[in-house]
Chain A
Amino acid sequence: MNRFVWLALLALGLLAPFAVYPVFMMKLLCFALFAAAFNLLLGYTGLLSFGHAAFFGGAAYVTGHLVKNLGLTPELGVLAGTLFAGLLGYLVGSLAIRRQGIYFAMVTLALAQIVYFLALKLPFTGGEDGLQGIPRGLLFGVIDLNRHVTVGGTPLPLALYYFTFALFCLGFGIIYRAIHSPFGQVLKAIRENEPRARSLGYKVERFKLIAFVLSSALAGMAGAMKCLIFQLASLTDVSWHTSGEVVLMTLLGGVGTVLGPAAGAFTVVTLQSQLTMVGPWITVIIGGIFVVCVLVFRRGFVGELGRLLRRSL
C-alpha cells in the first residue's frame, strides 16, 4: 500500500489522544490488534478459531496477576502475558489442527471453555469479580503510566496512550511482515488449496501451528494491554461472547485484508460505546449485524472498498 497512507495513519494515531477521548482510543487499539491477530488465522490461513478470547482474556489474567500481586513492571507484565498466550496457543493449536473446517471451530470453542472454567475457579483469578484494581505501574521502572499531561485544560494520560500505541504498532507490524513474507504466501496457499500446498512439499501442519501460535500470542498482547488500560481482567474477556465479537469485527471490516480488522474493530467498539443506552439490546444488534454481514456483505468494508479501487488493501 501507498507509503503516504501509512504515514497519514501513523500521524493520526500519534495525534488521536488530543482529539478523541484517550481511553476510548486505547480500547480501539486493543481490539484492532486483537482482530488483526485473529485475521492472521481466518483471513490468511483459512482457520476459523472460535476460542480466541481464551488468549486475549488468559493473557489479561496473567498480566494482571503478575503486575498486581508480584509487582512486575508493566512491560514485563505484557511480555509475560504475550508469552503465556503463545504457549497456550501452542497447546490449543496442536490439538485443534488435528481437525479441519467446522470441527476446528468447535474444538477451539470447547478448549476455550476450559480456559473459562479455569478463570472462574483458579485461586488467583478472583472468580466472578475478576482481577480488579490492577496497577499500571512504572514503565521500565521509570515512567509513571498513570501520569496525566494537561493539554489545553484537560489532563491526558499520554504516557499510557503512547505505550499502548507503540505496542499496537509493534504487533501490527509483526502481522504485516508475516503476511507479506514467503511464510505468509505459504499460509495463503494453504487457505486456497490445502492438499495442493501439501503436495508441493509444505509441512501444512507446521505452518498452521506457527500461524496459530503467532496469532494467539498477539491476541494475548492485546489482552495484556487491555488489562493495563482498564486495570481489570474479567470473565467477559475469556467468554465466548468475546470470541464471537472478534469474529464479527474481522468479518465486518473485511476478512483477509490488512486494514479490515482494525476498521471492523473501530466500528464495533464505537457502536458499543454509542449504544450503551440500549442495554441488553446491544447483543441483538450485534447479532443482527452478524446476520446481515454474512448474508450480503461478506467482503466487509475494506474488502468492498478494495474491490472498488481494484487493489488489495
Chain B
Amino acid sequence: MGMSLQTVLSQVMLGLNNGVFYAILSLGLAVIFGLLNIVNFVHGALYMLGAYVALLGFNQLGPLLGRPDFHLNYWAALLVAPLVVGALGVLIEKTMLRRLRKFDHLYGLLLTFGLALIIQGVFTNYFNVSGDAYDGKPEVLSGVVDLGFMLFPKYRVWVIGISLVVCFGTWFVIERTKLGSYLRAGTENPELVKAFGINVPLMITLTYGFGVGLAAFAGVLAAPIYSVSPVMGSEMIITVFAVVVIGGMGSIMGSILTGLLLGMVEGFTKVVYAPASGTVIFLIMVVVLLVKPAGLFGKEA
C-alpha cells in the first residue's frame, strides 16, 4: 500500500473538511440539548434546508420575482439561510417544543423526528434525490491553494477557516461572556435564573433558533462541495449522533473537538482501509461505549 505522508496529509485535510461540519452540527445539538434537554432530530433536515435556501435563492428566486437575472449570491445566502431557518426554529419552539417541556424528553426526540420526516418528504417530492449542483460559488473562492504538501481547493480552506471561527466564536460567547453565563445558568437551574428576572422562555426560544441557524449555515457551506439533495441531512444526522455519543453533549468545546477529530480519523481511514471509512465513526463509538461509557467529555444525560 502506497501510504506516503503526502497521501495521509491530504486525506486528513479532506477529513478535517468533513470534521468541521460534524463540529458545527454537534455544537448546535449540544447547545440545544443544554437548555432544552432534547435531541434535535430535525437538525439534519434543517441543515439540508439551509443548503436549499442557497440553491433556490441562486436558481429560482430571480425568476420567481420576475427578474430572471437576479441571483441570491453566496455571501447573502450565508446570512439569509440561518435567518430563515432560525425563524422557522423559533416557530417550531414556540408552537410545539414548548408544549412538551413538562413531559419525558423522549417526546422531544419523537416530535423532531416527525418534523424531519415532513421536511425531507416535501423536498423529496420536489427535488431529485441524487442531488443538484450549486453554481453560486463565488469567483474569489475558486481555484486552489498550495499548502506545501498538496494543492487544496481554496473553497475548502475557506470552509475550514470560517467554520473554526464560528465554532470557537460560539464557544467564546457561551463560556466567556455575560450572555453565555445566563445560558449556562439556565442550563443548570432555570427556576433560579427566572427568579433573577431573566426571561428564560425567550432565552430558550432564541437558543433553539440559534442552534438550528448554525445548522443552516453549515448547509450553505456544504452546498458548493456536496450535491444538494433531500437526503443529505438524514445521512449526516446519524453520523453526527454517533459523534455526539462519543463526545458527550455536556461540553461545548468537547463537541467541537470531537467533531474535528473524528472527521480527521475518517479521512485517515480512507488511506488505510477505504471500505471502513463509512463505518469507522460508529466503530469508534462502540469502543468508547466499552471503555468510557459516559463519552470522552461526558456528563450523563
Chain A residues close to B by CB (< 8 Å): 48, 50, 95-96, 98-103, 105-107, 109-111, 113-114, 117, 121, 240, 244, 247, 251, 279-291, 293-295, 298
Q: Is the CB of A287 within 8 A of B125?
A: no
Q: Is the CB of A98 within 8 A of B293?
A: yes
Q: Is the CB of B106 within 8 A of A102?
A: yes
Q: A99-B293, A294-B100 are in contact. Are A251 and B110 (CB under 8 A)?
A: yes
Q: Is the CB of A291 within 8 A of B115?
A: yes
| Residues in B whose Cβ lies below 8 Å from that of A290 | 110-111, 113-114, 117
Q: Is the CB of A98 within 8 A of B289?
A: yes
| Residues in A whose Cβ lies below 8 Å from that of B38 | 102
Mind listing 30 A-B residue pairs with CB under 8 Å? A50-B109, A99-B245, A99-B293, A101-B106, A102-B38, A102-B106, A102-B109, A105-B109, A106-B39, A106-B244, A109-B238, A110-B238, A110-B241, A111-B285, A113-B279, A279-B125, A280-B121, A283-B124, A284-B117, A284-B122, A286-B114, A286-B121, A287-B114, A287-B121, A290-B117, A291-B96, A294-B107, A295-B99, A295-B111, A298-B107
Is B146 engaged at the interface, CB distance under 8 Å to the other chain? no
Q: Is the CB of A110 within 8 A of B301?
A: no
Q: Is the CB of A117 within 8 A of B110?
A: no
| Residues in B whose Cβ lies below 8 Å from that of A280 | 121, 124-125
| Residues in B whose Cβ lies below 8 Å from that of A289 | 114
| Residues in B whose Cβ lies below 8 Å from that of A98 | 289-290, 293
A247 to B109, CA, bound (A): 11
Q: Is the CB of B99 within 8 A of A101?
A: no
A247 to B116, CA, bound (A): 15
Q: Is the CB of A105 within 8 A of B39?
A: yes
Q: How far is the CB of A133 from chain B (nearest CB, A)?
A: 26
Is B72 engaged at the interface, CB distance under 8 Å to the other chain? no
Q: Is the CB of B290 within 8 A of A95?
A: yes
Q: How far is the CB of A196 from chain B (nearest CB, A)?
A: 17
Q: Is the CB of A294 within 8 A of B293?
A: no
Secondary structure of the B side of the interface? helix
What 9 A-B pairs have minimum CB-CB distances, sorted nearest first?
A290-B114, A287-B117, A283-B121, A284-B121, A287-B118, A98-B293, A110-B242, A291-B114, A106-B241
Q: Is the CB of A121 within 8 A of B275?
A: yes
Contact of A99 among B110, B118, B124, B289 (CB under 8 A): B289
| A96, A103, A298 interface centre (most CB from chain B within 10 Å) | A103
A247 to B110, CA, bound (A): 8
| Residues in A whose Cβ lies below 8 Å from that of B283 | 114
Residue of chain A at shortest CB distance from B248: A103
Q: How far is the CB of A21 from chain B (nearest CB, A)?
A: 27
Q: Is the CB of B117 within 8 A of A107?
A: no
| B96, B105, B125, B245 interface centre (most CB from chain A within 10 Å) | B245
Q: How far is the CB of B92 from chain A (nearest CB, A)?
A: 10
A35 to B272, CA, bound (A): 41
Q: Is the CB of A291 within 8 A of B125?
A: no
Q: How far is the CB of A124 from chain B (nearest CB, A)?
A: 16
| Residues in B whose Cβ lies below 8 Å from that of A96 | 289
Is B139 engaged at the interface, CB distance under 8 Å to the other chain? no
| Residues in B whose Cβ lies below 8 Å from that of A251 | 110
Contact of A102 among B39, B103, B234, B285 (CB under 8 A): B39
Q: How far is the CB of B273 from chain A (nearest CB, A)?
A: 13
| Residues in A whose Cβ lies below 8 Å from that of B116 | 287
Q: Is the CB of A106 within 8 A of B245?
A: yes
Q: Is the CB of A295 within 8 A of B282?
A: no
Within 8 A of A (CB), among B108-160: 109-111, 113-122, 124-125
Q: Is the CB of B279 within 8 A of A114?
A: yes
| Residues in B whose Cβ lies below 8 Å from that of A95 | 286, 289-290
Q: Is the CB of A111 within 8 A of B286?
A: yes
Q: How far is the CB of A115 from chain B (nearest CB, A)?
A: 10
A105 to B245, CA, bound (A): 10
Residue of chain A at shortest CB distance from B283: A114
Residue of chain A at shortest CB distance from B276: A117
Q: How far is the CB of A240 from chain B (nearest CB, A)?
A: 7
Contact of B245 among A103, A114, A240 (CB under 8 A): A103
Q: How far is the CB of B257 from chain A (nearest CB, A)?
A: 19
A55 to B108, CA, bound (A): 25
Residue of chain A at shortest CB distance from B290: A95
Is B69 engaged at the interface, CB distance under 8 Å to the other chain? no
Contact of B238 among A113, A247, A294, A298 (CB under 8 A): A113
Residue of chain B at shortest CB distance from A112: B238
Q: How far is the CB of A303 from chain B (nearest CB, A)?
A: 14
| Residues in B whose Cβ lies below 8 Å from that of A291 | 96, 111, 114-115, 118
A97 to B290, CA, bound (A): 11
Q: A109-B241, A110-B238 are in contact. Are A294 and B111 (CB under 8 A)?
A: yes
| Residues in A whose Cβ lies below 8 Å from that of B279 | 113-114, 117
Q: Is the CB of A110 within 8 A of B107?
A: no
Q: Is the CB of B114 within 8 A of A107?
A: no
Q: A106-B241, A109-B238 are in contact. Are A284 and B125 (CB under 8 A)?
A: yes
Q: How far is the CB of A272 from chain B (nearest CB, A)?
A: 13
